[in-house]
């Protein structure tokens, strides 16, 4: 490891990496949430009686 974690500049580095992780988790949650929600709704619509393939 080359990083000096005691360096005061890390006060700016940690929030950058933390924000990246928050953004990625947020985007993944948004995409996964929408995908599962609408996949379930579309499946329910497909299962309706009289629905042609």
Partner 1 sequence: MLTRYANPARFMALSSWAMPLAAVLAVAAFAIGLPWGLLYAPADYQQGESVRILYVHVPAAWWALGIYTAMTVASVMSLVWRHLLADVAARAMAPVGAAYCGLCLVTGSLWGEPTWGTWWVWDARLTSMLVLFLTYLGYLALWASVEDETRAARLAAILCLAGFINIPIVRFSVEWWSTLHQGPSLLRQGGSAIDPSMLTPLLIMAGAYAAAAAAIVMALMRAEIYRRRAMAAATRRAAQPA
User: Which residues contact partner 1 by CB under 8 A?
Assistant: 1-4, 7, 9-10, 12-13, 15-17, 19-20, 23-24, 26-28, 30-32, 34-35, 37-39, 41-42, 44-46, 48, 50-51
Q: How far is the CB of 35 from partner 1 (least distance, A)?
A: 4
Q: How far is 53 from 21, CA to CA, in rounded Å?
A: 41
CB of 22 to partner 1, least distance (A): 9
């Amino acid at each position: 490891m080359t990083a000096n974690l005691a360096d005061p500049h890390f006060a700016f580095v940690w929030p950058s990496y933390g924000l990246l992780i928050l953004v990625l988790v947020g985007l993944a949650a948004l995409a996964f949430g929408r995908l599962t929600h609408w996949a379930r709704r579309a499946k329910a619509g497909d299962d309706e009686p009289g629905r042609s393939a």
